[in-house]
Amino acid sequence: AFTLSEADAQRLLDGGTPVLRFAKGLERDVTVKIVSVSPVEDGERAIVVSCDRYLAQIPQLRRQTASLLLDSYEGLRIPANALRLNEEGRSGVYCMVGMFARFKAVDVVYQGDGYTLVRAAEDATGSRILRPGDEVIISAGELYDGKVMQ
């Protein structure tokens, strides 16, 4: 059981699938079902959830702290200042490929405080696909595709 603000509770009730991430004792997220929802009181609602799986580690702890995940995003995390527009106005990042700066187009998945989650652009091919481990250029003077870097 937990309480949520009226706005967050409504997001959950409007079709969200509640997922809990336990602070300790369990290494994975758990999808749960909403059992009951209280009326709004002081701008909050009490939510009771249930899981149809037996989680042996949880009952032993008597009291457990968990976070409710309302949204989930996947992508490569880059510093916000690494995201640039190329000559055609396309979003992407410049990466070191050998001694050269190469532009790799990306689609923005989510923007956070000081970082951006991106994925390789749908139409990217070959060496133009952003991959984990690529050396992203964060700050430099004027960048262009093929610029020799030192």
- Predicted confidence at residue 61, as pLDDT, reads 59
Q: Of residues 16 and 142, which shows the higher confidence score?
A: 142
Distances (CA, A) of 104 to 118, 136, 148: 11, 10, 16
pLDDT digits (tens, 9 = 90+) for 76-103: 999 999 999 888 888 999 999 989 999 9
pLDDT band for 60, please (50, 70, 90 cuts): low
**Residue 21, pLDDT score:** 87
Q: Which long-range contacts (CB under 8 A, 24 or more apart) does 29-35 make?
A: 29/69, 30/55
Alpha carbons 97 and 129: distance in angstroms, whole number: 12
Query: In sequence order, what E strands does the chain have?
Result: 2-5, 19-22, 30-31, 33-37, 44-50, 66-69, 76-79, 84-85, 91-97, 100-111, 115-120, 135-136
DSSP 64-75: --EEEE-----S
pLDDT of residue 30: 85
80 DSSP assignment: G
